[in-house]
Amino acid sequence: MSLKEVFIDELRDMYSAENQLVKALPKLAKGANNPKLGQLFTDHLEETKGQVLRLKNIFDLLEEKPTGQHCSGMEGVIEEGSDALEKNTEGASFDSGIIGAALRTEHYEIAGYQACISMANALNESEIAGILTESLNEELAAAEKVTSVGQAILAKAVGEPNQDNEPKTGKEKYSDKKSKEDESEAAVAVGKHG
């Protein structure tokens, strides 16, 4: 594959990621207990819609179609956000899980835009790099906002009493099992190199 083909695949991945977020952000906004956190997600939804339009514009400039690549990475990150919304936790502790998922989402997007900008620059596509930089700057600002709003929520969560753990759901049991398998496999690999 040529660099341009890799670049187009990366852009399609970002397009898929942003479209998935357009669907996911309203759920996070609705699920958040903290009104500032919910509003942050609502505001970022509008930015995300703008990012989708920017990516469409880039595909027009490249005379390529934006579809054809599903972003499995973002699908996984969004699944983590959905898991956070399903936790049987209350108060600030509940929102703390959403904050973690939101930051993972933002950092995934930041990495994607940085990769695309580097490729655009290597291909001498300065106009496209500029458009992508607008979206990158919005993602960096969104991560800062989540962190800022999150500080007060996390401080409040520290003061909340421990909640009795209810029996694990099937999904939580599966996740626990996979986590232990990952740890065992990594321990073997680390042992070989340690």
Q: For the chain, how many helices (H) and strands (E)?
A: 6, 0
Segment 72-99 mean pLDDT: 87
| Selection from 90, 84, 83 nearest residue 34 by Cα | 90
Buried b (16+ CB within 10 A) or exposed e, 90-122: ebbbbbbbbbbbbeebbebbbebbebbbebbee
pTM comes to 0.85
pLDDT of residue 54 exceeding 90 = yes
Instruction: Please say whether the structural domain 3-163 has been given the CATH code 1.20.1260.10.
Output: yes
Q: What CA–CA distance (Å, rounded) separates 95 from 115?
A: 30
pLDDT of residue 146 exceeding 70 = yes
| Percent of the chain residues topping a pLDDT of 90 | 70
